[in-house]
Amino acid sequence: MKFDFNTLNRAPRRRTYQRPFTPRIKPVIITVVLMVLFIAGSLYLFHPPFNWHSPGFIYYLIIIFGFGFILSYTLYYNVQIKETTYKKVNKILGIALGVIIAFIGVYTLISTSIFNAKEYASRISVESSDFSIIEEVDFSKTPIIDRDSTEVLGDRVMGEMPELVSQFEVSDEYTQISYRDSVYRVTPLEYADIFKYFANRGEGIPAYIIVNSTTGEAELVRLEDLGLEGMRYVPSAMFNENLMRKLQMSYPTKIFGSPSFEIDEDGRPWYICTTYTYKAMGTKLMVEGVVLFDPITGDSTYYDDVLEAPTWVDRIYPESLIVEEFDDYGSLRGGFINSIFGQKDVFVTSEGYNYLEKDGDIWIYSGITSANSDAANLGFVLVNLRTHEARMITSAGANEVSAMSSAEGNVKNYGYHATFPLLVNVSDKPVYLMSLKDDAGLIKMYAMVDATDYQKVSTVSIDEGLETLKETFVSQSLDDINIDQLLEKTITIKTMRFINVEGNTIVYLSDEEGHNYKLEVNEDNVDAIGFVEAGDEVTIYYAEASINLIKDLKKAPK
């Protein structure tokens, strides 16, 4: 027999004892309990809508699948389910998750404006109109007080209520509404913090603030003075009294945006809660319906047709969506490629928007400019925030930024800043109306700028008022004044000041009698003005106004 020397170096085999596997149920139970608690807790905290069009719901599903993988691993490790079963479960979960993500991704991609340009462009129906649809300006319905000034006024009236200041804060909503034949901004109070919520939740939010957008009068309205209880279901509340949670629990499949606070004609507070839908997941946002929510009782009514909602409601379509819809209308009608290259007949909204009241509704207004965003507007667009009615007015002229610069240049010595302008009708012409503020944010003057010729500017102090501003603006429009209507006068110049506005020179004169004059330098009078200085005697031809507008002047011979 042959001897194998290699066996001498081998270690002897040891017989080991393998203890039988005992399933551990406790870790599985803990995992399941934690999963249920997390799912239920996150559902309660974040309350995503059960609607596959909502991105939040898809993210929530992905988290659920993630827990499925965790549970599968826990069972495999602690109960020792068969490896083949474990792999099969994971494979099914992986395939299901992959199919969902792939379907959502592909469907979302093919639902974008790249492949559906004209469908995106048709989200809003725009009707062409002339400027006559805007009635002659009525200053009792013109929101000349802008949002920033409104917030200052609201904080001021709140500061006069020390018993409320310590418990509540002023919300920054300030919704623009039409109310009792005028225009206002309205905003509720809100709980200052979690501790103030628990201290006051029994009685709820006791008041809201309303500010007249034409006069600046601010008032804190106590609900008890209207015979109403406090508002319990508000955005700053917690648990089941939180507005968004209450809405989502009442309408679990609806997609909500940010509700807007309004009041009806009796002063009762409401939240206007618009519901939305998408073409796929998060693409082509569209208004679906509206919920009128009573924050006092928690009762609500859903309207799948927004036109069936009460007419006192002012804001169903949010401003940001309207701007997005109109920009798609102006840029995508000729197709997606044309919106990027060529850009034939492409136009978009200008750099901002403002409001006007018309027939008891609030309309959003914005200028329309070319895709190149130059200093000119092609016209204006008006959209009703309640009905979605849209009107486009073709009227070439200066854009809002140029008008603001022109108004600021007119009072350059004061250093005032112009607010974003309102569009108003003055003598059947489009005119920009704006406030002029100092560095502290206080309104010091009002200005009107011709929307078609931004060199035509009129300004008055706030003490003189808007009616005086209108009269001044009309009287200073020399194009509407017959040459025979001009006055002739010989004056001695006391002061003379040149101001450059957007490349144009304007001369401000005062005479020794204390009268003020304005002269726009042009090719007809540039030679004459070049030889005039303070102390000279000149003959002027002018239109009478608060700042007299000189058409021409001649230096008197010495």
Domain assignment of residue 103, yes or no: yes
Cα dihedral angle (198, 202, 203, 205), rounded to 10 degrees? 40
Residues 192, 287 share a domain = yes
Residues 264, 170 share a domain = yes
| H and E: helices and strands count for the chain | 13, 26
Tell me if 189 sits within 8 A of 207, measured CB to CB. yes
Mean predicted confidence (pLDDT) in 455-483: 79
Domain assignment of residue 135, yes or no: no
Residues 444, 296 share a domain = no
Residues 377, 264 share a domain = no
Strands 218-222 and 207-212: antiparallel
pLDDT of residue 11: 53
pLDDT of residue 17: 47
Domain assignment of residue 6, yes or no: no
| CATH number of the domain encompassing residue 520 | 2.40.50.140
Strands 417-418 and 429-437: antiparallel
Least confident of 65-74, 226-235, 293-302, 543-552: 543-552
Give the rounded percent of residues in the chain with a pLDDT score beyond 70: 92
Q: Summarize pLDDT for 97-106 with one digit per residue, the tens.
A: 888 888 888 9
Residue that wins the pLDDT comparison between 273 and 72: 273
Least confident of 75-79, 88-92, 393-397: 75-79
Structural domain of 546: 482-558
Give the rounded percent of residues in the chain with a pLDDT score beyond 90: 54
Mean predicted confidence (pLDDT) in 543-558: 76
Domain assignment of residue 8, yes or no: no
Residues 256, 376 share a domain = no
Tell me if 468 sits within 8 A of 546, measured CB to CB. yes
Residues 146, 256 share a domain = yes
Least confident of 76-80, 281-285, 502-506, 512-516: 502-506
Q: Is the pLDDT of residue 74 over 90?
A: no
Alpha helices (runs of H) in 111-212, residue ranges in sequence order: 117-121, 147-159, 162-165, 194-200
Q: Summarize pLDDT for 177-204 with one digit per residue, the tens.
A: 999 999 999 999 999 999 999 999 999 9
544's tokens: 């009478």
Domain assignment of residue 360, yes or no: yes
Mean predicted confidence (pLDDT) in 257-274: 97
The band of 21, judged by pLDDT with boundaries at 50, 70 and 90, is low
CA dist 203 and 261 (Å) reads 19
Mean predicted confidence (pLDDT) in 340-357: 91
| H or E element at residue 514 | none
Number of structural domains (the chain) is 5
Q: Summarize pLDDT for 28-39 with one digit per residue, the tens.
A: 888 888 888 888
Domain boundary among 308, 327, 361: 308
Residues 358, 227 share a domain = no
186's tokens: 């309205």
Cα dihedral angle (448, 449, 452, 454), rounded to 10 degrees? 170
Least confident of 185-194, 294-303, 547-556: 547-556
Least confident of 183-187, 223-227, 379-383, 470-474: 470-474
CA dist 532 and 526 (Å) reads 10
Domain boundary among 378, 393, 408: 393
Q: Summarize pLDDT for 121-150 with one digit per residue, the tens.
A: 999 999 999 988 999 999 999 999 999 999
Q: Summarize pLDDT for 408-418 with one digit per residue, the tens.
A: 988 888 889 99
Residues 272, 366 share a domain = no
Domain assignment of residue 416, yes or no: yes
Residues 444, 471 share a domain = yes
**What's the mean pLDDT when you consider all of the chain?**
88
Residues 279, 162 share a domain = yes
Residues 194, 260 share a domain = yes
pLDDT of residue 411: 87
Least confident of 4-18, 41-55, 406-420, 488-502: 4-18
pLDDT of residue 315: 97
Domain boundary among 344, 360, 393: 393
pLDDT of residue 432: 95
Domain assignment of residue 552, yes or no: yes
Tell me if 93 sits within 8 A of 67, measured CB to CB. no
Domain assignment of residue 137, yes or no: no
Residues 286, 160 share a domain = yes
Q: Is the pLDDT of residue 20 over 80?
A: no
